[in-house]
């Protein structure tokens, strides 16, 4: 089998290296390339220093495809185009069409700000200056996307803001040099198995017992907030091998498998509610709205999700969710009784068919011997019944909150699935 084309991704920006922002472009580009049969061999995140960016670009130029993001702005530290040209041994030229288009955008911006255009002219010329031989992909804002060939390497230069990068990436994919690279690729089949309630070691053992990867199937295991995801990259012609591996892997973990089509748990919950004509409400304390955020991240969630109450104080729990003062006094706000009362109150006060609640101690302070940091009580309520659970989650404040969010959604998913199966 012919080796797939290889790609290097170079993400620039000192703010990424410092940790001020998370890189979204590298994972996006890697996923896009993998789906098209191009191997994303490496993602390099580098700052704006000349030596570091030069080294990363030199390495990228050894791949079939080098995709560079960031550093296309008008300021002194936006030097990606200059360094790409140098790495490719190309000169620089002013592109008159880009100069006119970027100038038009900048003139309108200057007018809105009440500033003279001359203040922007140097930056406009800088952004319109591109390597000799480069193809312009058009603009996103005032940043141009570019495609440049250097020997057997195709270099794609894209802006740093993710929305701008993604807009011009779709144009880059249609360019003739990139199409030539893609023409040598064979897109694999991508499968994803999602498990909940099984440990990473249990899934790893099941994969090994099933025969492991190889023979056209590459398997990776990733733990994500108590979920275990197994990604299968299936080469052309290896479908039967993937079918056999999947069947043998799932057999001992069937009760833990919740998705085989990449749908996250929040989407499954909404689909289960929608199928039964149920609306949904949330009551949250320690998660501070994170459950609602997960639900509303799904397009079309408004057909099911009515809203939520973030009740951090006892007063708000009593006033907005009708949690009895006696429950809070006898059992405390972090208790199974309080969680049940919060779920019932949210369902009643918001007029929902289904509700969930979360209350706990996310830390780092506030724990005790009886109720340690990480203790979380969850509750789900439907017309057919309710279910509660409690956990002591390990980790820091952020991981405790994220794990509680995922787990309460799975609690509701299991309850809805059970009642649906019983109805059938």
Domain ranges of the chain: 6-183, 189-259, 265-423
From first CA to last CA, the distance across the chain in angstroms is 48
- pTM, to two decimals: 0.86
DSSP-derived 3-state class of residue 145: strand
Q: In angstroms, rounded to a whole number, what is the distance separating the alpha carbons of residues 115 and 123?
A: 14
Give the CA dihedral 274, 275, 279, 281, nearest 10 degrees. Answer: -80
Q: Tell me if 189-259 shares its fold with 265-423.
A: no
Query: 234-238, long-range: CB within 8 Å, 24+ apart, which pairs?
Result: 234/188, 234/189, 234/190, 234/191, 235/1, 235/186, 235/188, 236/186, 236/188, 236/189
Structure tokens at 8: 């290097």
Q: Classify each residue of 70-81 as buried b or exposed e, where b means 16 or more C-beta atoms within 10 Å of its C-beta.
A: bbbbbeeebbbb
Q: In angstroms, rounded to a whole number, what is the distance separating the alpha carbons of residues 356 and 386?
A: 9
345: nearest Cα among 308, 313, 374, 312: 308
189: nearest Cα among 229, 151, 155, 238: 238
**Residues in CB range of 333: below 8 A, 6 or more apart:** 285, 314, 317, 359
Element holding 258 (H helix, E strand)? strand 257-259
Structure tokens at 405: 């969010």
CATH code assigned to 189-259: 3.30.70.2860
Across 135-226, the runs of DSSP E, i.e. the strands, are: 135-140, 143-150, 153-158, 189-196, 217-224
Q: In angstroms, rounded to a whole number, what is the distance separating the alpha carbons of residues 311 and 270?
A: 23
Would you give per-residue pLDDT tens digits along the chain (424 residues)?
Answer: 578 999 999 999 999 999 999 999 999 999 999 999 999 999 999 998 899 999 999 999 999 999 999 999 998 889 999 999 999 999 999 999 999 999 999 999 999 999 999 999 999 999 999 999 999 999 998 999 999 999 999 999 999 999 999 999 999 999 999 999 999 999 999 999 999 999 999 999 999 999 999 999 999 999 988 899 999 999 999 999 999 999 999 999 999 999 998 899 999 999 999 999 999 999 999 999 999 999 999 999 999 999 999 999 999 999 999 999 999 999 999 999 999 999 999 999 999 999 999 999 999 999 999 999 999 999 999 999 999 999 999 999 999 999 999 999 999 999 999 866 665 5
Handedness of CA 309, 315, 317, 319 (dihedral sign): negative
The per-residue pLDDT for 424 is: 54
**Residues in CB range of 202: below 8 A, 6 or more apart:** 253
The per-residue pLDDT for 421 is: 62
Q: CA of 7: how far to CAs of 151, 211, 217, in Å?
A: 15, 30, 20
CATH code assigned to 265-423: 3.90.950.20
Q: In angstroms, rounded to a whole number, what is the distance separating the alpha carbons of residues 362 and 404?
A: 9
Cβ neighbourhood burial of 261 (10 Å; 0-12, 13-18, 19+):
exposed
Taking a C-beta distance cutoff of 8 angstroms, is the pair 141, 106 a contact? no
Structure tokens at 94: 């002013």
- Other Cβ atoms within 10 Å of 86 Cβ, number: 18
Q: In angstroms, rounded to a whole number, what is the distance separating the alpha carbons of residues 16 and 174?
A: 29
Which DSSP state fits 333?
Answer: S
Structure tokens at 394: 């390990």
Q: In angstroms, rounded to a whole number, what is the distance separating the alpha carbons of residues 348 and 72?
A: 53
Looking at domain 6-183, its CATH architecture is 3-Layer(aba) Sandwich (3.40)
**Residues in CB range of 98: below 8 A, 6 or more apart:** 127, 128, 130, 136, 139, 144
The per-residue pLDDT for 226 is: 86
Taking a C-beta distance cutoff of 8 angstroms, is the pair 63, 38 a contact? no
Handedness of CA 159, 147, 141, 79 (dihedral sign): positive
């Amino acid at each position: 089998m012919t080796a797939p084309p290889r790609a290097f991704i170079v993400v620039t920006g000192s703010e990424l290296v410092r940790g001020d922002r998370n890189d979204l472009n590298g994972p996006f580009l890697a996923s896009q390339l993998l789906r098209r049969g191009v191997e994303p061999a490496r993602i390099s995140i580098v700052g704006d220093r000349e030596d570091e960016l030069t080294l990363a670009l030199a390495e990228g130029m050894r791949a079939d495809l080098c995709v560079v993001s960031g550093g296309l702005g008008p300021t002194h530290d936006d030097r990606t185009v200059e360094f790409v040209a140098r790495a490719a041994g190309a000169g620089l030229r002013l592109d008159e069409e880009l100069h006119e288009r970027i100038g038009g955008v900048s003139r309108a911006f200057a007018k809105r700000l009440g500033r003279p255009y001359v203040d922007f002219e140097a930056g406009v010329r800088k952004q319109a200056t591109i390597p000799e031989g480069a193809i312009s992909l058009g603009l996103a804002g005032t940043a141009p996307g570019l495609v440049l060939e250097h020997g057997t390497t195709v270099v794609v230069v894209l802006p740093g803001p993710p929305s701008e990068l993604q807009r011009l990436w779709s144009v880059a994919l249609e360019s003739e040099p990139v199409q030539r690279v893609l023409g040598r690729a064979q897109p694999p089949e991508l499968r994803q198995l999602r498990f909940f309630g099984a440990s990473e070691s249990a899934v790893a053992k099941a994969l090994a017992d099933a025969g492991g990867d190889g023979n056209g199937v590459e398997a990776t295991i990733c733990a994500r907030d108590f979920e275990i995801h197994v990604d299968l990259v299936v080469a052309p012609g290896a479908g039967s091998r993937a079918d056999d591996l999947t069947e043998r892997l799932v057999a001992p973990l069937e009760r833990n498998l919740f998705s085989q089509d990449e749908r996250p748990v929040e989407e499954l919950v909404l689909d289960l509610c929608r199928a039964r004509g149920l609306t949904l409400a949330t009551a949250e304390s320690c998660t501070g709205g994170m459950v609602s955020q997960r639900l509303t991240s799904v397009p079309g969630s408004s057909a099911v999700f009515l809203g939520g109450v973030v009740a951090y104080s006892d007063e708000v729990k009593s006033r907005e969710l009708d949690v009895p003062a006696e429950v809070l006094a006898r059992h405390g706000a972090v208790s199974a009784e309080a969680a049940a009362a919060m779920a019932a109150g949210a369902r009643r006060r918001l007029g929902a068919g289904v509700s969930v609640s979360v209350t706990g101690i996310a830390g780092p302070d506030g724990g005790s011997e009886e109720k340690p940091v990480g203790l979380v009580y969850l509750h789900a309520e439907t017309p057919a019944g309710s279910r509660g659970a409690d956990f002591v989650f390990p980790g820091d404040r952020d991981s405790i909150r994220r794990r509680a969010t995922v787990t309460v959604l799975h609690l509701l998913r299991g309850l809805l699935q059970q009642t649906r199966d019983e109805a059938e």
